[in-house]
Structure 1
Amino acid sequence: MKFVDETTIEVAAGDGGSGCASFRHEKYKEFGGPDGGDGGRGGHVYALADENLNTLVDFRYTRKFEAQRGEHGKGSDMFGHKGEDIVLKMPVGTLVRDADSGALLHELLQPGQLVLLAKGGDGGFGNLRFKSAINRAPRQKTPGYPGQRFNLQLELKLLADVGLLGMPNAGKSTFITAVSNARPKIADYPFTTLHPNLGVVRVGPEKSFVIADLPGLIEGAAEGAGLGHLFLRHLQRTRLLLHIVDLAPFDEAVDPVLQARAIAKELKKYDPALHAKPRWLVLNKLDMVPAEQRAQRVRDFVRRYRHKGPVFEISALTREGCERLVQQIFQHVAASQQAERPPVEVDPRFEPQANP
């Protein structure tokens, strides 16, 4: 399945049915009076946030969605049937924008969230509506109102607690495989990851967080170089960024410090708010560094890079140091979630009373 995180669709609600101008015709009733019913409402178009979806691929080839129009009114006081609504299932984290103006219309942030994309037209009035003491035989009727039509741009931002970033082949996919249930492709060449992968990291009973592995960044990513710039938007909703650094690159001429600085620079170019997010350095591939050189190499990296946040030393391949890192991540995510919750308002009748 291809990963699609941006597409454009057209939605059209159903038109309302027209009202009917009719008169009752029965034996022995010369003046039966008006009996034309109203037209039915056109169908609405809704969007439903579905937690089982993680891509917009369903909207890549089917671009137009049109609800059923309302039925016309009929004689004998029969109102038209309303048109059937349609519900479009979208991944949680989808942004719905007006394709013409770019204005943000809706954000699907909660599973099961239902929003109205296009409202169906109201049905027209039949001549029964116009009957009065003065006008006893009205012939007026009104047509149904047209349904709303919009061109919409859909953009998906994954709802992950933690986002992984780093150069290609830094070991991000190996790390997410070691700590979660995700099984991305792993190989010994750059750009193995071509689309984001989500994994759930379980720390204990009812204790977990979601981690996202994105394609590797390279210098110039903010201007469109490489693949990672296409998915940087998925980091904007994360609570924590893990910057994976290859401490033992195959090419000895490559400087890990310069690579780490390049990633930070690209983040700042793309979005200063993203650069300001909490970012932890994770020095990976310690298993490829001789044991007697590890401490010195880590000290040299920290001294030269001058990172102000936490620094962790791991080997994603052997899982050395991963357990400690996962525990620290969970504590940070849990604290962030607690801080984001609104204060609970307590009814004064149920507040604990102080002892006299």
Structure 2
Amino acid sequence: MVYFTRTLLEKIRRPRKYLKDGFRDSLRIFVSGGPGGNGLPKFGGIGGKGGDVIVEAKEGITLEKVYKNNMSKRYMATPGKSASHNFILGPPGEDLKFEVPTGVTIITDLGKKLGELNNDGDTLIVAKGGTGGHQKNGFLGSRGQVYHVRLDLKLIADIGLVGFPNAGKSTLLKAISDAKPRIASYPFTTIRPNLGIVKYNDLRQISIADLPGLIEGAYYNKGMGHKFLKHVERTKLLLMIVDINGFQLSTKYPHRTCLETIMLLNKELELYNEDLLNKPSLLLINKMDTDGAEQKFKEIKTQLKEFNDFISRYSEEIRPSKCLKFSNIIPISAKESEKDIVLVKQKLRTILDIMNDVSNTNKIDKLYEDIKSSISEKGPQLI
């Protein structure tokens, strides 16, 4: 009886909603432009053009929804009509249009990039319809374009929040924005990117993406972080957050100090795309409310100022050849200090507002002067 009850309960067990929903940032589909209609040699009739397959960017839609709307993943436009005695010009086939999220890149199986849709309302023809039959092609309609393409989504946000698991990214995001991420005191609480909006009293808004925790070796397909590194590419500013106490994934892995986590995060970003290290960036040293945090921060101040000397002690396998240039390094307690959260919001806004004001050359120059001045030969500026 006990065995039967256990078996029955196991059958009706349902997965938790956050695991059931999942997060999809890539989708492979089949597209086919409609074939052109045949012409009519006797009267010089021209066949109708085949329909095109068109994608349109739409804010608020997800690739998961695209998949659920058409689980066959086949998008085929209708063929053009052949010319006839009644229709010397054959009617064209109807275009097939469907919506995709903003931030999608369309790539063929051969690796050819067809285009990007970064703004709401952007459209792109992914498969052209065939031409109708006429005198030059023997009055035979041609086939439309037919192939598989991949919809590759990269989140578009002002700020990319990166860090090792349990560094406090989700806690910070919840405190600073309207996002509602899952928070717990164990690694890998975040299993999919979270997008939050930071709001200010004057109605200014900034988007921030919390990416699932990277781990050491993420670029080499370890953990989950490698899957989401691509979402950092379209952010304007990198916000790195580290635990003052360092990080250890499990007893199987070595404990990494706060400085070592900074170095390893730099390395993972560099391995994925070295250009990421040219982005403006901010460093937050979190969990300053924990026991002994103040003393630990005092001890690493000198090493932060001589960070290049610090990383030179390590092997090339984990040492980055280039480091992020942090405009500021700010010790915070994302969980306990509202004052720290206000300071971070102000810093983020200052940098992004200067970057957005492209028309004002003096302000743009000032942004890079500020960053350069905070990265002198002695190291980054501590606040």
TM > 0.5 fold call:
yes
Cα distance, 1:87–1:175 mapped onto 2, change above 3 Å: same
> Residue 229 of structure 1 aligns to which amino acid in structure 2?
H
- Structure 1 counterpart of 2:184: 187
Measured in 2, the distance between the counterparts of 1:250 and 1:196 equals: 21
Measured in 2, the distance between the counterparts of 1:232 and 1:340 equals: 31
TM-score (norm 2): 0.75
| Contact kept? 1:56, 1:156, Cα under 8 Å | no
> Residue 113 of structure 2 aligns to which amino acid in structure 1?
L
> Residue 12 of structure 1 aligns to which amino acid in structure 2?
S
* 2:106 corresponds to 1:88: no
Q: Which among 124, 129, 137 is matched to residue 133 of structure 2?
A: 124
Q: Which among 277, 280, 283 is matched to residue 279 of structure 2?
A: 277
* 2:143 corresponds to 1:146: yes
Cα distance, 1:188–1:340 mapped onto 2, change above 3 Å: farther
Max Rg structure: 1
Q: Specify the SS of the correspondent of 2:160.
A: strand
> Residue 44 of structure 1 aligns to which amino acid in structure 2?
D
- Structure 2 counterpart of 1:46: 54
Q: Which among 267, 270, 273 is matched to residue 268 of structure 1?
A: 270
Pairing of 1:47-86 with structure 2 (within 5 A) = 47-55=55-63, 58-59=66-67, 61-77=71-87, 79-86=89-96
Q: Which among 16, 36, 58 is matched to residue 16 of structure 1?
A: 36
Once the two structures are superposed, residues 6-60 of structure 1 have per-residue CA deviations (whole angstroms, 9 ceiling, x without a partner) of 23222110011112356xxxxxxxxxxx4x7432221111111111124355248
Q: Post-superposition shift, 1:239? A: 1.3
- Structure 2 counterpart of 1:313: 331
| Contact kept? 2:66, 2:99, Cα under 8 Å | no
Q: Post-superposition shift, 1:201? A: 0.9
| Contact kept? 2:164, 2:247, Cα under 8 Å | no
Q: Post-superposition shift, 1:163? A: 0.6
Q: Post-superposition shift, 1:103? A: 2.3
Q: Post-superposition shift, 1:142? A: 1.0
Cα distance, 1:74–1:244 mapped onto 2, change above 3 Å: same
Q: Which sits farther off after the overlay, 324-333 or 71-80?
A: 71-80
| Contact kept? 1:9, 1:59, Cα under 8 Å | no
Once the two structures are superposed, residues 133-162 of structure 1 have per-residue CA deviations (whole angstroms, 9 ceiling, x without a partner) of xxxxxxx97122211112212211111110
Q: Specify the SS of the correspondent of 1:339.
A: coil
> Residue 225 of structure 1 aligns to which amino acid in structure 2?
K
| Contact kept? 1:37, 1:76, Cα under 8 Å | no
Cα distance, 1:91–1:334 mapped onto 2, change above 3 Å: same
Larger helix fraction of residues: 2
- Structure 1 counterpart of 2:380: none
Cα distance, 1:92–1:49 mapped onto 2, change above 3 Å: same
| Contact kept? 1:46, 1:117, Cα under 8 Å | yes
| Contact kept? 2:26, 2:151, Cα under 8 Å | yes
The runs of 5 or more residues in structure 1 that have no matched partner are 23-33, 131-139, 343-356
Q: Post-superposition shift, 1:194? A: 0.9
Measured in 2, the distance between the counterparts of 1:92 and 1:83 equals: 27
Measured in 2, the distance between the counterparts of 1:123 and 1:38 equals: 6
Measured in 2, the distance between the counterparts of 1:112 and 1:227 equals: 32
Once the two structures are superposed, residues 255-274 of structure 1 have per-residue CA deviations (whole angstroms, 9 ceiling, x without a partner) of 22222222112222222111
- Structure 1 counterpart of 2:13: none
Measured in 2, the distance between the counterparts of 1:202 and 1:232 equals: 26
Pairing of 1:263-342 with structure 2 (within 5 A) = 263-289=265-291, 294=294, 296-306=295-305, 309=326, 310-318=328-336, 319-339=338-358
- Structure 2 counterpart of 1:161: 158
Pairing of 1:236-247 with structure 2 (within 5 A) = 236-247=233-244
Once the two structures are superposed, residues 159-181 of structure 1 have per-residue CA deviations (whole angstroms, 9 ceiling, x without a partner) of 11101111100110111111111
Q: Post-superposition shift, 1:81? A: 2.4
Measured in 1, the distance between the counterparts of 2:196 and 2:359 equals: 23
Q: Which among 230, 252, 259 is matched to residue 233 of structure 1?
A: 230
Q: Specify the SS of the correspondent of 2:289.
A: helix
Measured in 1, the distance between the counterparts of 2:357 and 2:65 equals: 34
- % identical aligned pairs: 36
What is the aligned-residue RMSD (CA, Å)? 2.7
Q: Specify the SS of the correspondent of 1:83.
A: coil
TM-score (norm 1): 0.80
- Structure 2 counterpart of 1:134: none
Q: Which among 202, 215, 219 is matched to residue 216 of structure 2?
A: 219
How many residue pairs get aligned? The number is 314
Q: Specify the SS of the correspondent of 1:287.
A: coil
Measured in 1, the distance between the counterparts of 2:190 and 2:214 equals: 11
